[in-house]
Structure 1
Amino acid sequence: MDEGFSGPTRPVGRGRKAQAAVRAATLAELLDRGYAELTVEGVAQRAGVHKTTVYRRWKDRASLVVDALAEHFATDIPTPDTGAVESDLQALARALAHSMTGPVGRAVQTAMHSDAGRLPEIAEARRRVFADRFRRAEPVITRAIERGELPAETDPVEVLKTLAAPIYFRLLVSADPIDEGTADQAVRITLAAARAGALTRSSPDRSGPRTTDPA
């Protein structure tokens, strides 16, 4: 396991330091035990805090896992701003491929999918994690539309889902290798579809991003 997710720590008190310790402990427990066996008590013990400290910020196991994963992926897959849609999407796709093939990404995918059949709350947790990732990356597409690189009615969420789809297919279905070439091909496919007008909003009054789990 990654050294950053090992072992119980000394008491860390409250505030940002405690929050960071709890998030790290949550990922470690998820990797070690899977979602089904993860408990708030176990996370608290591993983080070196009292469980009341955890419940003060996170109401339950699902919200704790969602927050830890969202923060992890936000760091692992930052939102680029290179000034051009192609290089922005390339940076996003390569970061996604790197994150999903790393130890945390693979272990999280295994845990979230192996437990999914018996824990309906996992579907909601996945939906919320993907919603956060779409929200963070959506400015990439918005800026491209403003620069005239993509049609005005392009749907940012559809673009991001199309970008991620080839990577997740290899990760979860075909087990083919995932590398920068995979990411770059995903960019070419996505740009071709978007520029052809195939990834437009289905309704002009769509009020927010759809968060369908691409897996």
Structure 2
Amino acid sequence: MLAAVLDAAGDDAWQPPDTGSLEGDLAALNQESQTALTAEPPVVAAVIAASFRSEQAADAQRRLWEDRYARCETIVARAVRRGEVPPDTDARRLLVVATAPVYHQLVLLGTPPDPRLPAHAARAAALAAAAGAFVEPPAAEGTGGP
């Protein structure tokens, strides 16, 4: 039943925020995540916990997150068009780094929500992205690999 609920969640009309800047979009996305993770009743945390006990729920949750990350790639595409980040920025890596602190603090550590965390994590990720941290370096000549 949980797997069906998660699959249905992927069929919604949710779209990532569009604030006009990468940092703003990431901060808004992080704020949405923090709000969802701290809502009462704690539905999101319960779903995450259930995914560790059911292969079906784990698969459904994975599909949901794949869908969400795919939708959020537009945040990075817009940032590329605005010249905020290099064109070959790896959107998935950037999005994971931007959102991970919120999940780490609230889900793994169980700390109370910090109202500054969504913006702080977004700023750190946006600065790293602008500096090229999420661009794969070219393979060294003669090594055949990265």
With the shorter chain as reference, the TM-score category is 0.7 to 0.9
- Deviation of the 1:162 alpha carbon: 0.9
Unaligned runs of 5+ in 1: 1-37, 39-60, 204-215
**Runs of at least 4 residues off by over 3 Å:** none
- Determine which of 50, 73, 81 is the counterpart of 1:138: 73
In the alignment, which residue of structure 2 is the partner of 1:82?
Answer: 19
Aligned to 2:45: 109
Q: 1:111 to 1:94 in 2, by over 3 A?
A: closer
What are the superposed Cα offsets for residues 49-72 of structure 1, whole Å, 9 maximum, x if unpaired? xxxxxxxxxxxx63x222333356
Structure 1 length-normalised TM: 0.57
Gaps of at least 5 residues in structure 2 are 139-146
The one of the two structures with greater contact order (alpha-carbon pairs below 8 A, sep at least 6) is 2
Shift of 1:92: 1.3
| TM-score, normalised with respect to structure 2 | 0.80
For residues 92 and 202 of structure 1, do their structure 2 counterparts lie closer, same or farther at Cα, with a shift above 3 Å needed?
farther
Partners in 1 of 2:52 and 2:133 — Cα distance? 32
Task: Give the structure 1 partner of residue 8 of structure 2.
Answer: 68
Larger Rg: 1
2:116 counterpart SS class = helix
8 Å CA contact 2:51, 2:61 repeated in 1: no
Amino acid at match of 2:44: V
Aligned residues: 138
Sequence identity (%): 33
Q: Specify whether residues 111 and 92 from structure 1 end up closer, same or farther in structure 2 by C-alpha distance, changes over 3 A only.
A: closer
Deviation at 1:198, TM superposition (A): 1.7
CA-atom RMSD, angstroms? 2.3
Q: Find the counterpart in structure 1 of residue 106 from structure 2.
A: 171
